[in-house]
Structure 1
Amino acid sequence: MARPGEYPYDAGIHPTGYTTKVWTMRQLAGLASAASTNERFHYLLDLGETGLSLAFDLPTQLGLDPDDPRSDGEVGRTGVSIATVDDLAAVFKGIPLDQVSVAMTVNATASMLLAMWVVVAEESGVDPAGLRGTLQNEMLKEFLARKACVFDLDTSMRYSLDVLEHCMRHLPRVNPVSLSGGHAREAGASRPLEIACGLADAETYLQGMLDRGMKADDVARRFTFIFGAHMELFAEAAKFRVARSLYARRLREHWGVTEERAMRMRIQVNTFGSALAHQEPLNNVVRATLQALAAVLGGVQSLHVCSFDEAYQTPGELGARIALRTHQILAEETDLARYVDPLGGSETIDRLVAELTTDVEGWLRQIEDHGGMLGSIRSGWLESEINEMAYNDPGPRVGVRDRLPSETEREVLRRERHEVPTSVERAVERRPCEVELAAVREAALTGANVLPTLIEAARARATIGQMREAMAPQTQ
């Protein structure tokens, strides 16, 4: 077994672990309006959050303006509603974008939101090259598990790769993609398949960038990963060791990567919403804490802890505060950050790692036999495997059978629901920007990278719906 900071990084990617720097504490936030989301961001930063994570509503994720009939009933329900760059500027009002890291939970419209983010930075006096953060921008998991898709698979991948290319050339501190096995797990995949999906996705994006003339070391250096943490404490902690080790080995042995930094898997973990229950919701504090503990013992770099109310809504203020305090209690009131690789040398962990490695490698061979991740998605084979696993997953078991919330719990939930509207109505002002949108259409049709034209369209106040429409000819 290697020591922390040494190839293949099973024991962690940094030799000092958390003893010199603890994990980034992120909490997903995105309320109905830009103003309320900005208020929540300032609230969390004032409480000690160290990284922002922005959630968008479904219309924004699908490139639909809030006054589009197809958006009816969904505006502001699962996150903030963004129509133009002015909305995004309002989200970040008073937040120094060159000092605070921002993770954007957006995929199909990642290119459009990135363009807006660049313009917000410019107009607030920040050099876009100083932007810090991560774009999810992961369409393979979207087609496989989550299904918030706008364009066909090939076009979606093309636009995702456009984002990678633009960030690699112009935005050195932005991670342009976060490869996700976690969403497959949330959809029902097993622990080994979760890792395999993340690794297979990464290699698909890597090949796509190599086809554009990029070097493997340069591309892999910009990758980040999203996995989840479930309730099996030691098995979940072992999972991150397996993911890091297999990633480093495959990059070196199959892709010729030689740079150490490029082989280090940087992991963002979300505690799993599928492990939460809406019955007896305060029990979810315990569930999320145990999942967070598994992630910390696994040596991850960034962590989102689910709020107790997240089984049924975007987190309320109380739930968000308790979730952030969970981070801080683990970091400051326990000895978790005093030891580097505290599980290293454990026979239990070594056995779990060996078993899990064998299972992951088996899934990777099956994915390759089905034409790689793209072929596995197109055929429907992998989704079918995940659906079968989901059908047999028992889910949360304690306090969920024939049990309603207590009066105290109902009162908490009533207060939390009051501050998070279920839907809002918004009219959108559309300014003349046909020249800029025509340039987007031309880039979409000719295969040029769409980001330069999207940035100009965002600067001209094109709406996200107009951008989507301009990019659509590529699919016709």
Structure 2
Amino acid sequence: MGVPGEFPYDAGIHPAGYTTRLWTMRQLAGLSSAESTNARFRYLLEMGETGLSLAFDLPTQLGLDPDDPAAHGEVGRTGVSVATVDDLAEVFDGIPLDKVSVSFTINATAPMLLAMWIVLAEQTGVAPAALRGTLQNEMLKEFLARKAYVYDLPTSVRYGLDVIEYCLQELPGVNPVSVSGGHAREAGADAALEVACALASVDEYLRGMVARGHSAEAVAARFSFIFGTDMELLKEAAKLRVARRRYAERMRSLWGVRDPRAMKLRTQVNTFGSALAYQEPLNNIVRATVQAIAAVLGGTQSLHVCSFDEAVQTPGPLGARIALRTQQILAEETDLAHYPDPLGGSRVIEQLVETLGREVDDWLERIDARGGIAECIRSGWLEGEIEDLAFHDPGPVVGVTAPTPVESETRLLQAERHTTTGGRREITRRPWGDELDRLREDAAAGRNVMPALIRAVRARATIGQLCAAMRPDDHVPESD
């Protein structure tokens, strides 16, 4: 077992663990409207949350304006609807952007939301360089697991690299990508493949950025990660140790990295929604608590705990509060945060780390042999492997066969759902002239689209207009 704060960081990236630096409590939130999302953010901050995480509805994720016919029935359904920078201003009304770290759960339209965040900062008197937070901006996992993409794979990755490049140059406090293994795990991958997908994705993004003239060390220092934790508490804690060790080793051996900041895997952990059941939903409090303990014992830097009602609806106020209180109880009423590496020296953990490490290495060898993760996605091989693994996962088992009494409880929970389209203003479509033309030209020429996006957002272009202007044609290069 390693030593906390020392290479290869399997025992943790900070020498003193949580004794001097607690994990960030970052509960994901995004309700039907900007106003209701702002109210939820304020509520969570008042309850003691230490970081914000914003979820968007499917039309926003896919670059559709809320009045687009293709968005019908989905506006505000799985998160907040954001079409212009004015919507984002409503989300953060009264919340100082230079004081609170914000995570944006957005991928295909990450460039557009980053531009809106920057313009909003300017409007509220905050220097963009003072912004702190993370953009998910992870297109490989979208093609592998979620399928919420707008452009083809090479174009999507190109725009993701534009975001990374812009943040490296202009936004020192923003993590420009959160490399995800957790989404593959939610889709059915096992723990080893979850880690392998993340590490293989790192190689893909680094190759792209090095080809643009950036050093692997400078880029890797800005990476963050997303993993999940399931119900095998000790195995999940061991998994995070394996991820840190393998990442540090690969950064040193494959990429020649020497800066410790570029070798330390920093991760957000989400407890797994796939582990929840809609029957007997209060049982999910126990499930989420077990998974949260695994994340803390594993040494996460940031944590989201699922709400007990999440298998039924967008979390209500009670579910959101209990999820946050779960984190606070673990931090303040147990001794989990009192020791830098509480699992260090455990024979069971050592065995799990050794076994998982071999399995991760095996998956990485298979991915590398097929040309890397992007090629594995194009061929469909990796998705097929995940589907095979998903077939053997039984999911939640306790209480899921409960009869009709649960039905009435479910109906009560559903009654709290927020409306999806009520009161949503229509977007008046009108030409945005030179700014969209410049964006279209930069996209077609292969230039970094972020400066043109920011100018178009200032002119109040909508997310649908921005996405249309960036849509590739026969003259757009496949990738940089």
Give TM-score, length-normalised by structure 2.
Answer: 0.97
* Paired amino acid for 1:288: A
Query: 2: CA distance between counterparts of 1:387 and 1:108?
Result: 23
Structure 1 residue 391, shift from structure 2 partner = 1.3
Corresponding residue for residue 105 of structure 1:
105
Aligned twin of 1:347:
347
Q: Displacement, 1:421?
A: 2.0
What residue in structure 2 maps to residue 115 of structure 1? 115
Look up the SS of the partner of 1:473 in the other structure. coil
- How many residues end up aligned between the 2 structures? 474
Q: Show the counterpart of 2:478.
A: none
Query: In the alignment, which residue of structure 1 is the partner of 2:452?
Result: 453
* Match runs of 1:19-58 below 5 Å: 19-58=19-58
Deviations 1:418-442 (A, max 9, x none): xx22444541134542210001100
Cα drift, residue 261 of structure 1: 1.0
- Deviation string, structure 1 residues 143-197 (Cα, Å, up to 9, x no partner): 0000001000000000000000000000000000000000000000011000000
Which deviations, in whole Å up to 9, do the C-alpha atoms of 1:90-127 show, x marking residues without a partner? 10111111110000000000000000000000000000
CA distance in 1: counterparts of 2:106 and 2:243, whole angstroms: 24
Change (3 A) 1:33 1:422: closer
Structure 2 partner of 1:261: 261
Code of the aligned partner of 2:42: H
- Equivalent in the alignment of 1:282: 282
Deviation at 1:409?
Answer: 3.4
Q: Is the 2:108–2:148 Cα contact (8 Å) retained in structure 1?
A: yes
Whether 2:396 is the aligned partner of 1:396: answer: yes
Go from structure 1 to structure 2 and tell me whether the alpha carbon gap of 1:208 and 1:407 turns closer, same or farther (over 3 Å shift).
Answer: closer
The yes-or-no answer on 1:322 pairing with 2:322 is yes
Quick one: percent identity of the two aligned structures? 68
Provide the rounded CA distance (Å) in 1 between the counterparts of 2:156 and 2:121.
26
One-letter identity of the residue aligned with 2:148: A
Aligned to 1:246: 246
Letter in 2 for 1:421: T
Asked whether the 8 Å contact 2:29–2:79 carries over to 1, the reply is yes
Q: What RMSD, in angstroms, separates the aligned Cα atoms of the two structures?
A: 1.3
Q: Paired residue for 1:226?
A: 226
Distance (whole Å) between structure 2 residues aligned to residue 272 and residue 105 of structure 1: 16
Deviations 1:242-287 (A, max 9, x none): 0000000000001100001110000100000000000111100000
SS at match of 2:383: helix
Residues in 2 aligned to 1:6 and 1:326: alpha-carbon distance in whole angstroms: 30
Which has the higher mean CA deviation after the structures are superposed, 399-408 or 299-308? 399-408
Secondary structure at the residue paired with 1:472?
Answer: coil
Q: Structure 1 residue 21: deviation in Å? A: 1.7
The answer for the alignment partner of 2:427 in structure 1 is 428
Match of 1:413 in 2: 413
Query: Hey, what's the Cα distance between the residues in 1 that align with 2:234 and 2:421?
Result: 40
- Does the CA-based 8 Å contact 2:280-2:402 persist in structure 1? no
What SS is found at the alignment partner of 1:311?
coil
How many angstroms does 1:408 deviate by? 7.8
Does the CA contact (< 8 Å) of 1:59 and 1:65 recur in 2? yes
For 1:147, the equivalent position in structure 2 comes to 147
Q: Compute the displacement of 1:312 (Å).
A: 2.4
**Which letter maps to 1:461?**
R
Q: Which amino acid aligns with 1:463?
A: T
For residues 365-388 of structure 1, what are the alpha-carbon distances to aligned partners after superposition, in whole Å with 9 as ceiling and x for unaligned? 000011100110000000000011
**How big is each residue's C-alpha offset from its partner over 1:377-419, in whole Å with a ceiling of 9 and x where there is no partner?**
00000000001111111000000014345488347514533xx
Query: Within 2, Cα distance between the matches of 1:51 and 1:323?
Result: 14
CA distance in 2 between counterparts of 1:337 and 1:393 reads 32
Q: Distance in 2 between matches of 1:438 and 1:159?
A: 18
* Cα distance between partner residues in 1 of 2:99 and 2:405: 42
Partner amino acid, structure 2, of 1:344: G
Contact between 2:132 and 2:173, CA under 8 Å: does it hold in 1?
Answer: yes
